[in-house]
């Protein structure tokens, strides 16, 4: 079941899943507030969606790893009374092992993956609760359940998954839907930016961004909080979490050859 929304705020909207959320929501007549660092891309996307779908598209250039930018966006959210969908999508994969990180990448990831979704969600909820209607999508990852995806990336994505589950429990019967979208390998710019060689990964493990977003938006009409798109991703997630296979997965994660194959 699909649900319609009046206005959606999407972080990380200049590319990848964020851009695809913007496109699919605009097709349904949802007005948009698009947030990302790259102002030129936001302007181009906003002009295209306004012309094509006749929706109102406002842009808000911001780097969510910076306190000033995040605080300004929080104030904007508080002033946007008709916001009824928040998509916390901004994120990055990182290039450094935790023990080698000398650039503050770990702290930056915590600010973007953990602090920003938490404070933006808290800012958006009061108006949603007054109306008794709204939704929050936190873009997590199958990496939230994986021992192969790096100390900081997996940990921050795991936060988003459990934050969503427990927040939904707090909001039972209040008309607010919370979702942790946990995609696997998806064809976006994400992996190139993170320095991952996509050609070394079998094609059958990949999904297209438009399919991932369709599954996410459709699932908002149901009761699932953790949404893992794609049968293969659900199987992989099951094997990583199942008590019968958990020990085997952990053993594999400690093998040097396996870690090298996984890009660790």
Which residues are known to be catalytic?
153, 157
CB 122 within 8 A of CB 44: no
Q: What is the bridge-based pairing of β-strands 57-61 and 176-181?
A: unpaired
Task: Report whether 88 contacts 136 (CB < 8 A).
Answer: yes
List all residues 6 or more positions away from 94 whose beta carbon is below 8 Å from its beta carbon: 105, 106, 109, 150, 152, 153, 194
Residues 6+ apart with CB under 8 A from 161: 138, 140, 144, 145, 180, 182, 226
Angle at 211 between CA 261 and CA 147, to 5 degrees: 30
Q: Which residues contact 250 (CB under 8 A, 6 or more apart)?
A: 147
**CA-to-CA separations, 51 to 46, 48, 258, in angstroms, rounded:** 9, 5, 49
Cβ 239 vs Cβ 178: under 8 Å: no
The answer to whether residues 120 and 35 touch, using CB atoms and an 8 Å cutoff, is no
Q: Maximum Cα–Cα distance for the chain, whole Å?
A: 54
Whether the CB-CB separation of 55 and 71 falls below 8 Å is answered with no
């Amino acid at each position: 079941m699909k649900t319609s929304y009046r206005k959606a705020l999407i972080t990380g909207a200049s590319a990848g899943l964020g851009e695809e959320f913007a496109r699919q929501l605009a097709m349904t007549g949802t007005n948009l507030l698009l947030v990302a660092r790259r102002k030129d891309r936001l302007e181009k996307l906003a002009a295209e969606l306004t012309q094509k779908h006749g929706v109102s598209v406002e842009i808000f250039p911001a780097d969510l790893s910076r306190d000033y930018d995040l605080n300004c966006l929080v104030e904007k959210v508080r002033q946007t009374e008709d916001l009824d969908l928040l998509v916390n999508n901004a994120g990055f994969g990182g290039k450094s092992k935790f023990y080698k990180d000398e650039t503050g990448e770990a702290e930056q990831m915590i600010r973007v993956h953990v602090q920003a979704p938490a404070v933006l969600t808290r800012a958006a909820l009061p108006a949603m609760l007054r109306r008794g209607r709204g939704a929050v999508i936190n873009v997590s990852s199958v990496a939230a359940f994986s021992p192969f995806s790096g100390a900081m990336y997996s940990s921050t994505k795991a936060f988003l998954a459990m934050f969503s589950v427990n927040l939904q429990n707090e909001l039972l019967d209040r008309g607010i839907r919370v979702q942790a979208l946990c995609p696997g390998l998806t064809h976006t710019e994400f992996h190139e930016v993170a320095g991952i060689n996509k050609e070394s990964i079998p094609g059958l493990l990949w999904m297209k961004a438009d399919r991932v977003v369709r599954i996410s938006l459709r699932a908002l009409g149901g009761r699932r909080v953790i949404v893992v798109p794609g049968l293969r991703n659900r199987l992989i997630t099951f094997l990583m979490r199942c008590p019968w296979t958990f020990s085997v997965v952990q053993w594999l994660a400690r093998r040097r050859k396996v870690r090298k194959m996984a890009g660790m």
